[in-house]
Amino acid sequence: MYTCPIQLSDVRYNASSSSFEALVTVHDNSTVRRYACAINAPISMTFEDAAKGLARQAIRRHQHRGGLFSNAACHAPKQRAGRPGFDPLRWLESIVTRPGRKAA
Domain count, the chain: 1
With H, G, I as helix, E, B as strand and everything else as coil, classify residue 7: strand
The span from the CA of 62 to the CA of 25, in Å, is 10
Stretch 40-54: mean pLDDT, rounded? 92
Report pLDDT digits (tens) over 1-37: 556 788 888 889 999 999 999 999 888 877 788 888 9
Q: Is residue 83 part of a domain?
A: no
DSSP string, 13-70: EETTTTEEEEEEEEEETTEEEEEEEEEE--TTS-HHHHHHHHHHHHHHHHHHT-S--E
Is 66 within a domain? yes
104 pLDDT above the threshold of 70: no
| Residue range of the domain that includes 31 | 6-71
40 found inside a domain: yes
Q: Is residue 84 part of a domain?
A: no
**Domain assignment present for 86:** no
Q: Residue 88: which H helix or E strand, with range?
A: helix 88-96
Identity of residue 31: T
